[in-house]
Amino acid sequence: MKSHVVDYKIYGDDLQFVEVELDPNETVIAEAGTMMYMDAGIQFEAKMGDGSAGEQGLMGKLMSAGKRALTGESIFMTHFTNTGQGKKQVSFAAPYPGKIIALDLDEVNGNLLCQKDAFLAAAKGTRVSIAFTKKLGSGFFGGEGFILQKLSGDGMAFMHAGGTIIEKRLSGDKLLVDTGCIVAFEEGISYDIERAGNLKSMFFGGEGLFLATLQGHGRVWLQSLPFSRLAERVVSAAPMQSGGGGQNVGEGSIISGLTNLLE
């Protein structure tokens, strides 16, 4: 497997985007709807599959599309190719506040497991598939279900996650993590879940019923603000609508407080 070699630069702080530089005939693949801008001379096409050698042919493409449908992603990926003369740039933006991680898959032994909505873009030749968690408990209670995304190849891949991202290296030790805060981990890491303390802690501790456990040798990437947590806070802070005239009820009003109490 040989991926296209691309250069890149990441801009911004909390609302980042990555600019990828393509030589003539080089291609980068990306999730649909993530492109921000591109130079003239770059052509893009929506294709069923990532274009890697492992999914060539009609059956390979259909299987790849079916796997992507299981992760909730579009069955199509957009391929951006420099068909002009000289170097050209195309950029991709993260869909919500957070950080973009640039990883050379060759440095993680060619494989990386990540949450199912983390993938943003990658050099052509990268295979974007799925992986199943091996344990039943992890599938039902692990936050990401049975299915994780798997990135394979030897080129650059770009992922995004919410809030601040931290990289931790495990040397056989065990790490307990909120199930929504896992971004990615190397294949040398085993993923499981365990109960979050006693019954009182599980139901009233605010950390959920289960925690994810990561153990082994390799690197782990964690996010401080999962999108699900951000969306929950936004929805809970949104002003309620009154039943009759559709007028907003102020957040600090007496009516709002009584309504919240009754709910």
| Cα atoms found within 13 Å of the Cα of residue 214, Cβ hemisphere only | 26
Cβ-contact 83, 27 below 8 angstroms? no
**Total Cβ atoms within 10 A of residue 121:** 28
Domain that holds residue 97: 7-230
**57-71, 158-172, 230-244: the lowest-pLDDT one:** 57-71
Task: Give 195's contacts (C-beta < 8 A, 6+ positions apart).
Answer: 202, 209, 210, 211
Q: What is the pLDDT of residues 6-50, one digit of tens each?
A: 999 999 988 899 999 999 999 999 998 899 999 999 999 998 778
Q: What is the pLDDT of residues 171-185, one digit of tens each?
A: 999 999 988 899 999
Q: What is the DSSP string of 218-237?
A: EEEEEESS-HHHHHHHHHHH
Q: Quote the strand ranges of the chain, DSSP E.
A: 7-11, 17-22, 27-31, 35-38, 42-47, 77-82, 88-93, 98-104, 111-114, 119-123, 127-132, 147-152, 156-162, 165-177, 182-185, 189-195, 210-223
Residue 22 CA to residue 63 CA, distance in Å, equals: 29
235 lies in a domain? no
What the block records as the tokens of 126 is: 């990268």
**Total Cβ atoms within 10 A of residue 81:** 22
| Confidence (pTM) | 0.76
Which CATH number fits the domain that encloses residue 118? 3.60.160.10
257 lies in a domain? no
244 lies in a domain? no
57 lies in a domain? yes
Residue 1, judged by CB atoms within 10 A of its CB (0-12, 13-18, 19+), counts as middle
Query: Can you tell me the mean pLDDT for 157-186?
Result: 92
Residue showing tokens 């130079």: 39
2 lies in a domain? no
Q: For residue 81, which of 34, 31, 124, 134 has the smallest C-alpha distance? A: 124
Confidence of residue 236 (pLDDT cuts 50, 70, 90): confident
262 lies in a domain? no
Q: What is the dihedral of CA 106, 114, 220, 101, to 10 degrees?
A: 70
Task: Give 223's contacts (C-beta < 8 A, 6+ positions apart).
Answer: 98, 99, 161, 162, 163, 164, 165, 181, 182, 183
248 lies in a domain? no
Looking at the 3D structure of the chain, how many domains does it have? 1
pLDDT at 212: 84
Q: 133 pLDDT exceeds 90? A: no
pLDDT at 147: 74
Q: 256 pLDDT exceeds 70? A: no
255 lies in a domain? no
pLDDT at 145: 47
Q: 263 pLDDT exceeds 60? A: no
